[in-house]
Amino acid sequence: MEARTHGSRTAAKRDLAVLFFAAALFAALSIRFELAETVAGWTKPYEHWQLDEVPGLLLFVVAGLAWYGWRRVREVRKLLDQLITGQARLARAHDENRKLAMAAVSAQEDERRHLARELHDELGQYVNAIKVDAVWLREIGTKRSPEVQRGAESIVAMTNHLEIAVREIVRRLRPPGLDELGFAAALEHCIDGWRRRLPGVAFTVVVDDAISGLDEATGITLFRLAQEGLTNLARHARAANVEIEVRQRAGASGGPSEIELSMRDNGVGAPSCPGGDGLGLIGMRERVEALAGRFDLMPSEPPGFGFVARLPLRSANAA
């Protein structure tokens, strides 16, 4: 901002110097060619039209235009000051909004971690206890009552289904291996699950070997982006090929290094309901911008859809 103001002052001084030089040159030419006497000689035959008053009128108009320009410059400066102040306030509000978004994401992930732990520890052990009792009833039912055996088998089947459901909920709440093994291992585990659900889709996953030691916010954000992208793929895309790349790249304009996550498929195109269940495209963008990153959609070259998310690289220790 200071450099821009200094440049404007320099340009104003240069223009003022040109104006004074032009005025001096005009005065010298007027004296050399006796401009006033020449004009008086041209206007003398038309004295009855008072053309000799035109120079004074022009001088008055010039003075009025100078006053008008001065007033407009003052108003423009005032508007510029207001604009600069508004931009500063907007930048502060944007920074505060980003911090609030980061706090909200952190609180959400903490709550998900807590829920996953409670489901795994509390609900899981009770489901397992019910299954153990049902298996015991089934064993004794073979000797005493076929009805007891059938009821016990039904309970065992339902508890097996409940265990699978709880395991799936825990997996979605908190990706397995993210805390212990890191982002790359959690992503591979997630992709393996989608390969089983979508056997007709070919997944190509490339993760840069240099990516390691990410802070929790960056790692969980990248994972949630991939998770939401795969969910949109299953719901809308009807694709046969999916490419996922996670690479470390140099920052733009010599800035800090970035982590880039890109995903592209060869499906029908952009999701028809980007603001639907889950994060959606809007939620994905908000997550990325909360970490001072950039979220862009890839050029819509049919068929297919893709996005690129770039996050500043921060180590776990720095975070």
pLDDT over 60 (residue 277): no
* Residues whose CB falls within 8 Å of the CB of residue 267, separated by 6 or more in sequence, listed in order: 233, 236, 237, 238, 239, 303, 304, 305
The reply to whether 93 and 33 lie within a common domain is: yes
Note the pLDDT of residue 79: 92
Strand partners of residue 72? none
Q: Is 194 found in the same domain as 256?
A: yes
Same domain, 204 and 139: no
Q: What was the pLDDT predicted at 276?
A: 43
Asked whether residue 128 is domain-assigned, the answer is: yes
Contact 126, 105 (CB under 8 A): no
Domain count for the chain:
3
Least confident of 160-164, 266-270, 291-295: 266-270
Task: Name the least confident of 84-88, 136-140, 299-303.
Answer: 299-303
Indicate the range of 134-138, 263-267, 303-307 predicted with least confidence: 134-138
In angstroms, rounded to a whole number, what is the distance separating the alpha carbons of residues 53 and 61? Answer: 13
pLDDT of residue 252: 65
Which residue range is the domain that position 137 belongs to? Answer: 108-173
Residue ending a domain, among 148, 173, 198, is: 173
Residue that is last in its domain, among 100, 133, 148: 100
Residue 317 lies in a domain: no
User: What SS3 state is found at 161?
Assistant: helix
Same domain, 192 and 214: yes
CATH number at residue 275: 3.30.565.10
Note the pLDDT tens digit of each residue in 26-72: 778 877 777 777 777 776 776 666 666 667 777 788 888 888 888 88
Question: Is residue 318 in some structural domain?
Answer: no
Do you find a cis peptide bond into 256, omega within 30 degrees of 0?
no
Both 226 and 296 in one domain: the answer is: yes
Residue 279 DSSP one-character state: S
2-22 pLDDT, tens digit each: 556 666 678 777 877 887 888
d(CA 241, CA 306): 12
Q: What is the pTM of this model?
A: 0.57
The H or E element that residue 295 is part of is strand 294-297
pLDDT at 117 over 80: no
Answer yes or no: is 153 within a domain: yes
Proportion of the chain above pLDDT 90, given as a percent: 7
Can you give the pLDDT at residue 210?
A: 67
- Which of 64, 83, 100 is a domain's end point? 100
Residue position matching structure tokens 């993210």: 178
CA geometry: angle at 15 spanning 10 and 19, to 5°? 150
Mean pLDDT for the chain overall: 78
User: Are residues 37 and 139 both part of a single domain?
Assistant: no
Same domain flag for 164 and 219: no
Of 249, 228, 229, the closest CA to residue 239 belongs to 229
